[in-house]
Amino acid sequence: MDPVVPPFHIHRPDGAGTPVIVASPHSGREYPAEFLRMSRLDARALRRSEDCYVDQLFAAAPGQGATLLHATFPRAYCDVNREAWELDPTMFSEKLPDWCNTTSSKVRAGFGTIARMVSHDGPIYPRPLPFSEAEARIRTCWQPYHDALGCLVDDSMTRHGCCILLDAHSMPALKGRGMQADFVLGNAWGTACSPQLTALVEQVLVGHGYDVARNVPFAGGYVTRHYGRPRRGVQALQLEISRALYMDQDTLAPHAGFAAVQAVLRDLVDRLVLYGGLLGQQAAE
């Protein structure tokens, strides 16, 4: 990363805040010049993996009492919704250390911590990378992001006795694939948050007229599974938003539906803040 660009931004609410954290790990759009030079793809192709504008969709969250965390680096550069060392051995010019996870389904698909692919545009790199490149990205992007997120979760537990982590993403609308949900809620098949929280989010979105699915095709990635510990008071839910609702997938520009989705998400955060207040009261009793 360019040293003048921090790897993430944290937007905190005024006062004590609430137990709600909204995180956007994939909306970063600061593409390092060296990364663009080493890629066989142009910036437009690389942006196909970006969760465009998700941080902006939740821009009102701090004013509502929630903390907003978002990465500045792009997902194609380093994916913080993977384990730190989830790496494809075919991408590198030397043998990877034994501690790397080289066999996960995400690695096999080309979407490890350092991605090999961007959707249908093929491989990102024309030649193997040195392992030092992965080390540098993980040290300067992955680790700081998770240090920050871990501190936010711990601080919420200390202040409020609970934490609600909404991990926000967007998903491409697949043309010609029949009915597709507007939103997908991923709770790692019921292990990352309570049924009540999942039902609340679903109720809000359905109330606005949207189609909502659970766990299929996105059950939640590393963030949801790693931080979600509902029995300990930390609830994590992944939210996937169809890009067709708010942006043109060809030009990658927001369209007229952007403001409407923002309004729906403001309502959702309001409801989560109220729910978090109830959980905090219960934790204090």
Per-residue burial over 197-230, b if 16 or more Cβ lie within 10 Å, else e, is bbebbbebbeebebebbbbeebbbbbbbbbbbbb
Residue 141's nearest CA partner among 76, 195, 87 is 76
Average pLDDT over residues 235-239: 98
Distance from C-alpha of 125 to C-alpha of 43, rounded to nearest angstrom: 13
Tens digit of each residue's pLDDT (9 = 90 or more) over 144-197: 999 999 999 999 999 999 999 999 999 998 765 556 899 999 999 999 999 999
Confidence of residue 274 (pLDDT cuts 50, 70, 90): very high
Query: Of the ranges 28-32, 88-92, 117-121, 249-253, which one carries the lowest mean pLDDT score?
Result: 117-121
Q: What is the mean pLDDT of the chain?
A: 95
Predicted local confidence at residue 120, as pLDDT = 73
Predicted local confidence at residue 257, as pLDDT = 97
Confidence of residue 285 (pLDDT cuts 50, 70, 90): confident
Predicted local confidence at residue 61, as pLDDT = 98
Q: Is the pLDDT of residue 283 over 90?
A: no
pLDDT greater at residue 1 or residue 46: 46
Query: Of the ranges 45-54, 170-179, 208-217, which one carries the lowest mean pLDDT score?
Result: 170-179
Distance from C-alpha of 72 to C-alpha of 263, rounded to nearest angstrom: 24
Element (H, E) at 222: helix 222-227
User: What pTM does this model have?
Assistant: 0.96
Cα angle 240, 75, 34 (rounded to 5 degrees) comes to: 160
Confidence of residue 221 (pLDDT cuts 50, 70, 90): very high
Tens digit of each residue's pLDDT (9 = 90 or more) over 58-71: 999 999 999 999 99
Predicted local confidence at residue 2, as pLDDT = 52
Per-residue burial over 241-280, b if 16 or more Cβ lie within 10 Å, else e, is bbbbbbbebeeeebeeebeebbebbbebbbbbbebbbebb
Average pLDDT over residues 60-88: 98
Which residues have C-beta within 8 Å of that of residue 139, sequence separation ≥ 6? none
Kindly state the tokens that stand for 234. 């930390």
Predicted local confidence at residue 177, as pLDDT = 53
